[in-house]
Structure 1
Protein backbone atom coordinates (compact mmCIF):
# COMPACT_ATOMS: atom_id res chain seq x y z
CA UNK A 1 0.00 0.00 0.00
CA UNK A 2 3.04 2.28 0.15
CA UNK A 3 2.30 3.72 -3.29
CA UNK A 4 -1.09 4.95 -2.03
CA UNK A 5 -0.04 6.43 1.31
CA UNK A 6 0.35 9.95 -0.09
CA UNK A 7 -3.34 10.20 -1.06
CA UNK A 8 -4.71 11.94 2.02
CA UNK A 9 -8.29 12.54 0.85
CA UNK A 10 -8.93 9.02 -0.43
CA UNK A 11 -9.33 5.95 1.78
CA UNK A 12 -7.67 3.12 -0.13
CA UNK A 13 -7.59 -0.53 0.86
CA UNK A 14 -7.61 -4.07 -0.55
CA UNK A 15 -10.81 -5.78 0.61
CA UNK A 16 -10.37 -8.87 -1.57
CA UNK A 17 -7.71 -10.63 -3.64
CA UNK A 18 -6.88 -8.47 -6.65
CA UNK A 19 -9.43 -5.76 -5.74
CA UNK A 20 -8.39 -2.23 -4.81
CA UNK A 21 -11.10 -0.14 -3.13
CA UNK A 22 -11.17 3.67 -3.17
CA UNK A 23 -13.52 5.47 -0.81
CA UNK A 24 -14.33 9.14 -1.36
CA UNK A 25 -14.13 10.90 1.99
CA UNK A 26 -14.70 14.30 3.51
CA UNK A 27 -17.37 16.63 4.88
CA UNK A 28 -20.56 17.85 3.20
CA UNK A 29 -21.38 14.52 1.55
CA UNK A 30 -17.77 13.96 0.44
CA UNK A 31 -17.49 17.25 -1.43
CA UNK A 32 -14.22 17.42 -3.39
CA UNK A 33 -11.90 20.18 -2.22
CA UNK A 34 -8.74 21.53 -3.89
CA UNK A 35 -6.45 18.76 -2.63
CA UNK A 36 -9.06 16.08 -3.23
CA UNK A 37 -9.55 17.20 -6.82
CA UNK A 38 -5.83 16.87 -7.53
CA UNK A 39 -5.63 13.47 -5.86
CA UNK A 40 -8.68 12.19 -7.70
CA UNK A 41 -6.91 12.93 -10.98
CA UNK A 42 -3.52 11.59 -9.90
CA UNK A 43 -4.45 8.25 -8.33
CA UNK A 44 -5.37 6.43 -11.56
CA UNK A 45 -1.88 6.31 -13.17
CA UNK A 46 -0.56 4.90 -9.89
CA UNK A 47 -3.17 2.14 -10.03
CA UNK A 48 -2.47 1.54 -13.72
CA UNK A 49 1.14 0.67 -12.87
CA UNK A 50 0.16 -1.67 -10.02
CA UNK A 51 0.00 -5.13 -11.58
CA UNK A 52 -1.32 -6.64 -8.34
CA UNK A 53 -4.61 -4.79 -8.95
CA UNK A 54 -6.95 -6.65 -11.29
CA UNK A 55 -10.13 -4.67 -10.53
CA UNK A 56 -10.96 -1.37 -8.81
CA UNK A 57 -14.03 -0.45 -6.78
CA UNK A 58 -14.94 3.17 -6.01
CA UNK A 59 -17.59 4.22 -3.52
CA UNK A 60 -18.44 6.95 -1.05
CA UNK A 61 -17.34 6.38 2.52
CA UNK A 62 -20.20 5.32 4.78
CA UNK A 63 -23.76 4.98 3.55
CA UNK A 64 -24.95 8.57 3.04
CA UNK A 65 -23.37 9.73 -0.22
CA UNK A 66 -21.12 8.98 -3.16
CA UNK A 67 -19.88 12.56 -3.66
CA UNK A 68 -21.62 15.92 -3.68
CA UNK A 69 -19.17 17.38 -6.22
CA UNK A 70 -16.76 20.29 -5.90
CA UNK A 71 -16.65 22.12 -2.58
CA UNK A 72 -17.46 25.82 -2.32
CA UNK A 73 -13.79 26.45 -1.54
CA UNK A 74 -12.74 24.84 -4.80
CA UNK A 75 -15.37 26.70 -6.85
CA UNK A 76 -14.51 30.06 -5.30
CA UNK A 77 -10.80 29.52 -5.96
CA UNK A 78 -11.51 28.78 -9.61
CA UNK A 79 -13.81 31.77 -9.99
CA UNK A 80 -11.39 34.15 -8.27
CA UNK A 81 -7.92 33.34 -9.55
CA UNK A 82 -6.77 32.61 -13.10
CA UNK A 83 -3.89 30.45 -11.84
CA UNK A 84 -6.25 28.29 -9.77
CA UNK A 85 -8.70 28.02 -12.66
CA UNK A 86 -5.90 26.90 -14.97
CA UNK A 87 -4.63 24.32 -12.48
CA UNK A 88 -8.07 22.79 -11.91
CA UNK A 89 -8.78 22.72 -15.66
CA UNK A 90 -5.64 20.64 -16.15
CA UNK A 91 -6.67 18.34 -13.30
CA UNK A 92 -10.17 17.94 -14.76
CA UNK A 93 -8.73 17.01 -18.14
CA UNK A 94 -6.27 14.59 -16.52
CA UNK A 95 -9.05 12.99 -14.47
CA UNK A 96 -11.07 12.08 -17.56
CA UNK A 97 -8.07 10.97 -19.60
CA UNK A 98 -6.65 8.89 -16.75
CA UNK A 99 -9.98 7.17 -16.15
CA UNK A 100 -10.35 6.35 -19.85
CA UNK A 101 -6.80 4.98 -19.97
CA UNK A 102 -6.98 2.99 -16.72
CA UNK A 103 -6.33 -0.60 -17.84
CA UNK A 104 -8.06 -2.34 -14.92
CA UNK A 105 -11.87 -2.53 -14.90
CA UNK A 106 -13.49 0.00 -12.58
CA UNK A 107 -16.73 -0.65 -10.71
CA UNK A 108 -18.64 2.24 -9.14
CA UNK A 109 -20.93 1.67 -6.15
CA UNK A 110 -23.14 4.77 -6.25
CA UNK A 111 -24.44 4.69 -2.71
CA UNK A 112 -25.98 8.14 -2.41
CA UNK A 113 -26.04 11.60 -4.03
CA UNK A 114 -23.54 11.88 -6.88
CA UNK A 115 -22.48 15.08 -8.65
CA UNK A 116 -19.45 16.96 -9.95
CA UNK A 117 -15.95 15.50 -9.93
CA UNK A 118 -17.08 12.46 -7.97
CA UNK A 119 -19.74 11.76 -10.56
CA UNK A 120 -17.04 11.79 -13.26
CA UNK A 121 -15.52 8.65 -11.74
CA UNK A 122 -18.93 6.96 -11.67
CA UNK A 123 -19.90 7.86 -15.24
CA UNK A 124 -16.52 6.73 -16.59
CA UNK A 125 -16.51 3.52 -14.55
CA UNK A 126 -16.90 0.34 -16.58
CA UNK A 127 -19.76 -1.04 -14.48
CA UNK A 128 -22.01 1.11 -12.33
CA UNK A 129 -24.26 -0.15 -9.53
CA UNK A 130 -26.70 2.42 -8.18
CA UNK A 131 -29.26 2.45 -5.37
CA UNK A 132 -32.90 3.03 -6.23
CA UNK A 133 -33.19 6.24 -4.21
CA UNK A 134 -29.82 7.63 -5.21
CA UNK A 135 -29.87 11.07 -6.84
CA UNK A 136 -27.56 11.74 -9.79
CA UNK A 137 -27.33 15.30 -11.07
CA UNK A 138 -24.98 17.30 -13.26
CA UNK A 139 -25.17 20.66 -11.53
CA UNK A 140 -23.08 22.80 -13.86
CA UNK A 141 -25.81 25.00 -15.34
CA UNK A 142 -27.25 25.46 -11.83
CA UNK A 143 -23.84 26.82 -10.85
CA UNK A 144 -23.71 29.08 -13.90
CA UNK A 145 -21.17 27.28 -16.12
CA UNK A 146 -21.38 24.94 -19.11
CA UNK A 147 -21.68 21.21 -18.44
CA UNK A 148 -18.06 20.14 -18.77
CA UNK A 149 -16.36 17.41 -16.73
CA UNK A 150 -17.55 14.35 -18.67
CA UNK A 151 -21.16 15.22 -19.47
CA UNK A 152 -20.91 16.16 -23.15
CA UNK A 153 -18.80 13.05 -23.75
CA UNK A 154 -20.82 10.45 -21.85
CA UNK A 155 -24.45 11.48 -21.37
CA UNK A 156 -25.49 11.56 -25.06
CA UNK A 157 -23.71 8.24 -25.61
CA UNK A 158 -25.46 6.60 -22.67
CA UNK A 159 -28.95 8.08 -22.74
CA UNK A 160 -29.27 9.57 -26.24
CA UNK A 161 -29.27 13.23 -27.21
CA UNK A 162 -32.84 14.18 -26.15
CA UNK A 163 -32.51 12.78 -22.63
CA UNK A 164 -28.99 14.15 -22.22
CA UNK A 165 -30.08 17.66 -23.16
CA UNK A 166 -33.17 17.46 -20.95
CA UNK A 167 -31.19 16.58 -17.85
CA UNK A 168 -28.13 18.73 -18.55
CA UNK A 169 -29.86 21.93 -19.69
CA UNK A 170 -32.52 21.83 -16.96
CA UNK A 171 -30.29 20.53 -14.16
CA UNK A 172 -32.88 17.79 -13.72
CA UNK A 173 -31.85 15.08 -11.20
CA UNK A 174 -32.07 11.37 -11.93
CA UNK A 175 -33.07 8.73 -9.43
CA UNK A 176 -31.23 5.45 -9.56
CA UNK A 177 -34.26 3.77 -11.11
CA UNK A 178 -34.59 6.39 -13.84
CA UNK A 179 -30.84 6.30 -14.49
CA UNK A 180 -31.06 2.57 -15.14
CA UNK A 181 -34.17 2.95 -17.30
CA UNK A 182 -32.55 5.41 -19.72
CA UNK A 183 -29.19 3.65 -19.83
CA UNK A 184 -27.03 5.88 -17.63
CA UNK A 185 -25.92 3.06 -15.31
CA UNK A 186 -25.36 -0.68 -15.55
CA UNK A 187 -27.87 -1.73 -12.92
CA UNK A 188 -30.09 -0.48 -10.12
CA UNK A 189 -30.57 -2.43 -6.89
CA UNK A 190 -32.09 -1.81 -3.49
CA UNK A 191 -30.05 0.77 -1.62
CA UNK A 192 -28.85 -1.68 1.02
CA UNK A 193 -27.57 -4.05 -1.67
CA UNK A 194 -25.35 -1.60 -3.58
CA UNK A 195 -22.08 -2.35 -1.80
CA UNK A 196 -22.42 -6.13 -1.79
CA UNK A 197 -23.41 -6.23 -5.46
CA UNK A 198 -20.60 -3.93 -6.53
CA UNK A 199 -18.03 -5.94 -4.56
CA UNK A 200 -19.26 -9.21 -6.04
CA UNK A 201 -18.85 -7.76 -9.54
CA UNK A 202 -15.35 -6.45 -8.73
CA UNK A 203 -14.34 -9.87 -7.38
CA UNK A 204 -15.71 -11.58 -10.47
CA UNK A 205 -13.71 -9.23 -12.70
CA UNK A 206 -10.57 -9.78 -10.60
CA UNK A 207 -10.94 -13.53 -11.08
CA UNK A 208 -11.25 -13.23 -14.86
CA UNK A 209 -8.72 -13.22 -17.69
CA UNK A 210 -6.68 -10.05 -17.18
CA UNK A 211 -5.57 -9.47 -20.80
CA UNK A 212 -8.95 -10.24 -22.37
CA UNK A 213 -10.82 -7.94 -19.97
CA UNK A 214 -8.29 -5.13 -20.24
CA UNK A 215 -8.03 -5.25 -24.04
CA UNK A 216 -11.82 -5.35 -24.38
CA UNK A 217 -12.10 -2.30 -22.16
CA UNK A 218 -9.38 -0.47 -24.07
CA UNK A 219 -11.07 -1.10 -27.41
CA UNK A 220 -14.51 -0.03 -26.19
CA UNK A 221 -13.08 3.13 -24.65
CA UNK A 222 -12.04 4.24 -28.12
CA UNK A 223 -15.63 5.54 -28.32
CA UNK A 224 -14.47 8.15 -25.82
CA UNK A 225 -11.11 8.75 -27.44
CA UNK A 226 -12.54 9.38 -30.91
CA UNK A 227 -14.88 12.01 -29.39
CA UNK A 228 -12.21 13.70 -27.29
CA UNK A 229 -12.65 17.02 -29.09
CA UNK A 230 -16.26 17.19 -27.82
CA UNK A 231 -15.04 16.79 -24.25
CA UNK A 232 -12.23 19.29 -24.76
CA UNK A 233 -14.64 21.93 -26.06
CA UNK A 234 -17.09 21.40 -23.19
CA UNK A 235 -14.29 21.65 -20.63
CA UNK A 236 -13.05 24.88 -22.20
CA UNK A 237 -16.52 26.43 -22.12
CA UNK A 238 -16.99 25.30 -18.52
CA UNK A 239 -13.81 26.95 -17.32
CA UNK A 240 -14.46 30.05 -19.41
CA UNK A 241 -17.67 30.31 -17.41
CA UNK A 242 -15.82 30.22 -14.11
CA UNK A 243 -14.42 33.63 -15.05
CA UNK A 244 -17.87 35.02 -15.82
CA UNK A 245 -20.55 36.79 -13.77
CA UNK A 246 -23.00 33.90 -13.28
CA UNK A 247 -20.84 31.81 -10.94
CA UNK A 248 -21.07 34.30 -8.06
CA UNK A 249 -24.86 34.14 -8.20
CA UNK A 250 -24.78 30.36 -8.62
CA UNK A 251 -22.63 29.90 -5.52
CA UNK A 252 -24.66 32.41 -3.49
CA UNK A 253 -27.94 30.72 -4.37
CA UNK A 254 -26.55 27.31 -3.41
CA UNK A 255 -25.25 28.60 -0.10
CA UNK A 256 -28.60 30.29 0.60
CA UNK A 257 -30.62 27.29 -0.67
CA UNK A 258 -32.69 29.35 -3.13
CA UNK A 259 -33.25 29.51 -6.88
CA UNK A 260 -30.59 31.51 -8.75
CA UNK A 261 -31.33 34.81 -10.40
CA UNK A 262 -28.71 34.97 -13.12
CA UNK A 263 -27.80 38.28 -14.76
CA UNK A 264 -28.35 38.62 -18.50
CA UNK A 265 -24.70 37.95 -19.35
CA UNK A 266 -24.91 37.10 -23.04
Structure 2
Protein backbone atom coordinates (compact mmCIF):
# COMPACT_ATOMS: atom_id res chain seq x y z
CA UNK A 1 0.00 0.00 0.00
CA UNK A 2 1.50 3.33 -1.04
CA UNK A 3 2.18 6.09 1.45
CA UNK A 4 -0.75 8.50 1.87
CA UNK A 5 0.95 11.52 3.44
CA UNK A 6 4.11 13.26 2.32
CA UNK A 7 5.89 15.95 4.31
CA UNK A 8 8.11 18.95 3.64
CA UNK A 9 9.73 21.15 6.29
CA UNK A 10 10.38 24.88 5.96
CA UNK A 11 11.82 26.18 9.22
CA UNK A 12 9.15 25.86 11.91
CA UNK A 13 6.41 25.11 9.34
CA UNK A 14 5.53 21.55 8.30
CA UNK A 15 3.61 21.08 5.03
CA UNK A 16 1.70 17.80 4.81
CA UNK A 17 0.22 16.64 1.50
CA UNK A 18 -2.38 13.93 0.96
CA UNK A 19 -0.70 12.25 -1.97
CA UNK A 20 -3.01 9.70 -3.57
CA UNK A 21 -4.60 11.69 -6.41
CA UNK A 22 -5.55 8.45 -8.16
CA UNK A 23 -8.14 7.88 -5.39
CA UNK A 24 -8.96 11.60 -5.10
CA UNK A 25 -7.14 11.48 -1.75
CA UNK A 26 -9.84 9.28 -0.21
CA UNK A 27 -9.46 8.69 3.52
CA UNK A 28 -10.57 5.05 3.63
CA UNK A 29 -9.32 1.84 2.07
CA UNK A 30 -5.70 2.85 2.62
CA UNK A 31 -3.27 3.79 5.39
CA UNK A 32 -4.61 7.35 5.84
CA UNK A 33 -5.92 6.77 9.36
CA UNK A 34 -2.72 5.25 10.71
CA UNK A 35 -0.59 7.92 9.04
CA UNK A 36 -2.67 10.83 10.38
CA UNK A 37 -2.57 9.41 13.91
CA UNK A 38 1.19 8.86 13.75
CA UNK A 39 1.76 12.30 12.22
CA UNK A 40 -0.17 14.08 14.97
CA UNK A 41 1.70 12.19 17.69
CA UNK A 42 5.05 13.13 16.12
CA UNK A 43 4.15 16.79 15.64
CA UNK A 44 2.82 17.12 19.18
CA UNK A 45 6.10 15.73 20.52
CA UNK A 46 8.24 18.01 18.33
CA UNK A 47 8.45 21.46 19.92
CA UNK A 48 10.26 22.82 16.87
CA UNK A 49 7.07 22.62 14.77
CA UNK A 50 5.03 25.78 15.30
CA UNK A 51 2.55 25.56 12.40
CA UNK A 52 1.33 22.95 9.92
CA UNK A 53 -0.24 23.18 6.47
CA UNK A 54 -2.47 20.37 5.16
CA UNK A 55 -3.25 20.16 1.44
CA UNK A 56 -3.97 17.64 -1.30
CA UNK A 57 -2.05 16.50 -4.37
CA UNK A 58 -3.80 16.69 -7.72
CA UNK A 59 -7.06 18.50 -8.46
CA UNK A 60 -8.92 17.34 -5.29
CA UNK A 61 -8.34 18.15 -1.62
CA UNK A 62 -10.10 14.98 -0.47
CA UNK A 63 -13.14 13.05 -1.65
CA UNK A 64 -13.69 11.65 1.85
CA UNK A 65 -14.69 8.01 2.02
CA UNK A 66 -14.09 5.60 -0.83
CA UNK A 67 -17.64 5.20 -2.20
CA UNK A 68 -16.80 2.21 -4.41
CA UNK A 69 -15.65 0.31 -1.33
CA UNK A 70 -19.11 0.80 0.18
CA UNK A 71 -20.48 -1.85 -2.20
CA UNK A 72 -19.32 -4.41 0.37
CA UNK A 73 -22.12 -3.39 2.74
CA UNK A 74 -24.60 -4.84 0.26
CA UNK A 75 -22.47 -7.74 -0.95
CA UNK A 76 -20.90 -8.93 2.33
CA UNK A 77 -23.57 -7.61 4.73
CA UNK A 78 -21.38 -7.24 7.85
CA UNK A 79 -23.22 -6.88 11.15
CA UNK A 80 -24.09 -3.42 12.51
CA UNK A 81 -21.72 -4.07 15.43
CA UNK A 82 -18.90 -4.77 12.99
CA UNK A 83 -19.53 -1.58 11.04
CA UNK A 84 -19.75 0.50 14.21
CA UNK A 85 -16.42 -0.85 15.41
CA UNK A 86 -14.85 -0.24 12.01
CA UNK A 87 -15.76 3.44 12.34
CA UNK A 88 -14.50 3.63 15.92
CA UNK A 89 -11.18 2.00 15.10
CA UNK A 90 -10.98 3.53 11.61
CA UNK A 91 -11.82 6.99 10.32
CA UNK A 92 -12.99 8.32 13.70
CA UNK A 93 -9.38 8.20 14.87
CA UNK A 94 -8.56 11.06 12.48
CA UNK A 95 -10.72 13.74 14.18
CA UNK A 96 -9.56 12.56 17.59
CA UNK A 97 -5.94 13.07 16.49
CA UNK A 98 -6.12 16.07 14.15
CA UNK A 99 -8.71 18.20 15.93
CA UNK A 100 -6.81 17.79 19.21
CA UNK A 101 -3.36 18.44 17.72
CA UNK A 102 -1.69 21.22 19.73
CA UNK A 103 -0.01 22.89 16.74
CA UNK A 104 -2.03 25.42 14.65
CA UNK A 105 -3.09 23.82 11.35
CA UNK A 106 -3.98 25.60 8.10
CA UNK A 107 -6.00 23.65 5.52
CA UNK A 108 -4.93 24.80 2.05
CA UNK A 109 -7.93 23.48 0.14
CA UNK A 110 -6.83 23.07 -3.45
CA UNK A 111 -10.00 21.52 -4.91
CA UNK A 112 -13.18 19.67 -3.94
CA UNK A 113 -13.51 18.83 -0.23
CA UNK A 114 -16.33 16.32 -0.15
CA UNK A 115 -17.99 14.47 2.74
CA UNK A 116 -15.28 13.41 5.16
CA UNK A 117 -12.91 15.56 3.11
CA UNK A 118 -14.92 18.64 4.10
CA UNK A 119 -14.97 17.46 7.71
CA UNK A 120 -11.20 17.02 7.54
CA UNK A 121 -10.89 20.69 6.65
CA UNK A 122 -13.14 21.58 9.59
CA UNK A 123 -10.75 19.75 11.92
CA UNK A 124 -8.13 22.36 11.03
CA UNK A 125 -7.93 25.80 12.64
CA UNK A 126 -7.86 27.93 9.49
CA UNK A 127 -9.10 27.17 5.99
CA UNK A 128 -7.80 28.90 2.86
CA UNK A 129 -9.44 27.97 -0.43
CA UNK A 130 -8.29 27.94 -4.00
CA UNK A 131 -10.78 29.52 -6.38
CA UNK A 132 -11.24 25.96 -7.73
CA UNK A 133 -12.32 24.53 -4.36
CA UNK A 134 -15.83 23.26 -3.71
CA UNK A 135 -17.34 22.00 -0.47
CA UNK A 136 -20.11 19.48 0.23
CA UNK A 137 -21.40 17.73 3.34
CA UNK A 138 -22.66 15.08 0.95
CA UNK A 139 -23.23 11.97 3.08
CA UNK A 140 -26.99 12.07 2.50
CA UNK A 141 -26.37 11.73 -1.25
CA UNK A 142 -25.05 8.21 -0.72
CA UNK A 143 -27.59 7.32 1.96
CA UNK A 144 -25.42 7.59 5.06
CA UNK A 145 -24.86 10.04 7.92
CA UNK A 146 -21.69 11.98 8.80
CA UNK A 147 -19.74 9.22 10.54
CA UNK A 148 -16.52 11.09 11.24
CA UNK A 149 -17.70 13.92 13.48
CA UNK A 150 -19.06 16.25 10.81
CA UNK A 151 -22.32 16.80 12.70
CA UNK A 152 -20.22 18.23 15.56
CA UNK A 153 -17.58 20.03 13.50
CA UNK A 154 -19.54 21.78 10.75
CA UNK A 155 -22.09 23.65 12.95
CA UNK A 156 -19.20 25.06 14.97
CA UNK A 157 -17.69 26.49 11.80
CA UNK A 158 -20.70 27.82 9.87
CA UNK A 159 -23.52 27.79 12.44
CA UNK A 160 -26.38 25.34 12.82
CA UNK A 161 -28.65 26.77 10.11
CA UNK A 162 -26.04 26.64 7.33
CA UNK A 163 -24.70 23.30 8.53
CA UNK A 164 -28.22 21.86 8.48
CA UNK A 165 -28.80 23.15 4.96
CA UNK A 166 -25.56 21.58 3.75
CA UNK A 167 -26.14 18.26 5.53
CA UNK A 168 -29.81 17.90 4.55
CA UNK A 169 -29.31 18.75 0.86
CA UNK A 170 -25.78 17.49 0.24
CA UNK A 171 -25.41 20.41 -2.18
CA UNK A 172 -21.96 21.79 -2.95
CA UNK A 173 -20.75 25.31 -2.21
CA UNK A 174 -18.37 27.23 -4.42
CA UNK A 175 -15.28 28.81 -2.90
CA UNK A 176 -16.97 32.21 -2.83
CA UNK A 177 -20.06 30.75 -1.14
CA UNK A 178 -17.80 29.09 1.42
CA UNK A 179 -16.16 32.44 2.09
CA UNK A 180 -19.54 34.15 2.51
CA UNK A 181 -20.67 31.70 5.23
CA UNK A 182 -17.34 31.65 7.06
CA UNK A 183 -16.36 28.12 6.09
CA UNK A 184 -13.07 29.53 4.79
CA UNK A 185 -11.29 32.73 5.79
CA UNK A 186 -10.02 33.65 2.34
CA UNK A 187 -10.15 32.59 -1.33
CA UNK A 188 -7.03 32.97 -3.44
CA UNK A 189 -5.90 32.29 -6.99
CA UNK A 190 -5.22 28.59 -7.41
CA UNK A 191 -1.56 29.05 -8.26
CA UNK A 192 -1.05 31.22 -5.17
CA UNK A 193 -2.65 28.85 -2.68
CA UNK A 194 0.42 27.25 -1.14
CA UNK A 195 2.36 30.52 -1.12
CA UNK A 196 -0.50 32.23 0.71
CA UNK A 197 -0.74 29.35 3.19
CA UNK A 198 3.02 29.40 3.75
CA UNK A 199 3.02 33.16 4.32
CA UNK A 200 0.30 32.81 6.94
CA UNK A 201 1.94 29.79 8.55
CA UNK A 202 5.27 31.64 8.70
CA UNK A 203 3.57 34.61 10.36
CA UNK A 204 2.03 32.26 12.93
CA UNK A 205 5.31 30.40 13.46
CA UNK A 206 7.16 33.65 14.23
CA UNK A 207 5.45 33.59 17.64
CA UNK A 208 6.51 31.52 20.68
CA UNK A 209 5.73 27.85 20.11
CA UNK A 210 4.60 27.08 23.64
CA UNK A 211 2.23 30.03 23.72
CA UNK A 212 0.80 29.07 20.33
CA UNK A 213 0.01 25.59 21.62
CA UNK A 214 -1.60 26.88 24.81
CA UNK A 215 -3.60 29.46 22.83
CA UNK A 216 -4.94 26.75 20.52
CA UNK A 217 -5.82 24.58 23.52
CA UNK A 218 -7.74 27.48 25.09
CA UNK A 219 -9.69 28.01 21.86
CA UNK A 220 -10.53 24.31 21.76
CA UNK A 221 -11.53 24.23 25.44
CA UNK A 222 -13.69 27.30 24.92
CA UNK A 223 -15.87 25.37 22.46
CA UNK A 224 -17.32 23.28 25.27
CA UNK A 225 -16.49 25.04 28.54
CA UNK A 226 -18.30 27.57 30.65
CA UNK A 227 -16.69 31.00 30.93
CA UNK A 228 -15.73 30.33 34.55
CA UNK A 229 -14.05 27.04 33.64
CA UNK A 230 -12.15 28.63 30.77
CA UNK A 231 -11.01 31.51 32.99
CA UNK A 232 -9.57 29.02 35.47
CA UNK A 233 -7.65 27.19 32.72
CA UNK A 234 -6.50 30.53 31.29
CA UNK A 235 -5.12 31.62 34.65
CA UNK A 236 -3.07 28.44 34.90
CA UNK A 237 -1.74 28.77 31.36
CA UNK A 238 -0.97 32.43 31.94
CA UNK A 239 1.11 31.55 34.99
CA UNK A 240 3.17 29.21 32.81
CA UNK A 241 3.48 31.80 30.04
CA UNK A 242 4.57 34.66 32.33
CA UNK A 243 7.47 32.58 33.65
CA UNK A 244 8.66 31.40 30.23
CA UNK A 245 11.90 32.64 28.62
CA UNK A 246 9.95 33.51 25.47
CA UNK A 247 7.71 35.90 27.43
CA UNK A 248 10.75 37.57 28.99
CA UNK A 249 12.37 37.91 25.57
CA UNK A 250 9.18 39.31 24.01
CA UNK A 251 8.86 41.98 26.70
CA UNK A 252 12.53 42.95 26.46
CA UNK A 253 12.30 43.15 22.67
CA UNK A 254 9.19 45.35 22.91
CA UNK A 255 10.90 47.75 25.32
CA UNK A 256 14.10 47.78 23.26
CA UNK A 257 12.15 48.21 20.00
CA UNK A 258 13.69 45.16 18.28
CA UNK A 259 12.52 41.84 16.82
CA UNK A 260 12.35 39.11 19.48
CA UNK A 261 14.42 35.94 19.17
CA UNK A 262 12.42 33.08 20.62
CA UNK A 263 13.90 29.81 21.82
TM class by smaller structure: 0.7 to 0.9
Partner of 1:81: 78
| TM-superposed deviation, 1:8 | 1.9
| TM-superposed deviation, 1:73 | 5.0
Whichever of the two has the greater Rg, that structure is 2
| TM-superposed deviation, 1:117 | 3.3
The secondary structure found in structure 1 opposite 2:30 is: helix
Return the TM-score normalized by structure 2.
0.75
| TM-superposed deviation, 1:50 | 1.9
Q: Distance in 1 between matches of 2:150 and 2:195?
A: 28
Task: Tell me the alpha carbon deviations over residues 78-103 of structure 1, each in whole angstroms, 9 at most, x when there is no partner.
Answer: 67434465233333332112122211
The secondary structure found in structure 2 opposite 1:180 is: helix
| TM-superposed deviation, 1:114 | 0.8
Question: Are the counterparts in 1 of residues 111 and 130 from structure 2 also a CA contact under 8 Å?
Answer: yes
Q: Distance in 1 between matches of 2:47 and 2:16?
A: 17
The secondary structure found in structure 1 opposite 2:95 is: helix
Matched, 1:113 2:112: yes
Aligned length: 220
Partner of 2:55: 59
Partner of 1:101: 100
| TM-superposed deviation, 1:202 | 1.3
Q: Distance in 1 between matches of 2:73 and 2:114?
A: 18
Task: Tell me the alpha carbon deviations over residues 190-226 of structure 1, each in whole angstroms, 9 at most, x when there is no partner.
Answer: 2222111011111222221112211111011124555
The secondary structure found in structure 2 opposite 1:185 is: coil
Cα 1:56–1:211 change in 2 (3 A) is same
Cα 1:109–1:206 change in 2 (3 A) is same
Task: Tell me the alpha carbon deviations over residues 98-121 of structure 1, each in whole angstroms, 9 at most, x when there is no partner.
Answer: 122211110110000112333333
Question: Are the counterparts in 2 of residues 59 and 66 from structure 1 also a CA contact under 8 Å?
Answer: yes
* Bigger relative contact order, structure 1 or 2 (CA pairs below 8 A, ≥6 apart): 1
Partner of 1:72: 67
Please point out which of 19, 26, 29 is paired with 1:25. 19
Question: Are the counterparts in 1 of residues 50 and 212 from structure 2 also a CA contact under 8 Å?
Answer: no
Unaligned runs of 5+ in 1: 1-5, 227-266
Deviates more, 1:184-193 or 1:160-169: 184-193
Partner of 1:167: 166
CA-based RMSD of the aligned residues comes to 2.4
Unaligned runs of 5+ in 2: 226-263
Pairs within 5 Å for 1:1-266? 8-14=3-9, 16-26=10-20, 27-42=22-37, 43-62=39-58, 64-72=59-67, 74-77=69-72, 80-82=77-79, 83=82, 85-224=84-223
Q: Distance in 1 between matches of 2:68 and 2:178?
A: 29
Return the TM-score normalized by structure 1.
0.74
Q: Distance in 2 between matches of 1:84 and 1:55?
A: 35
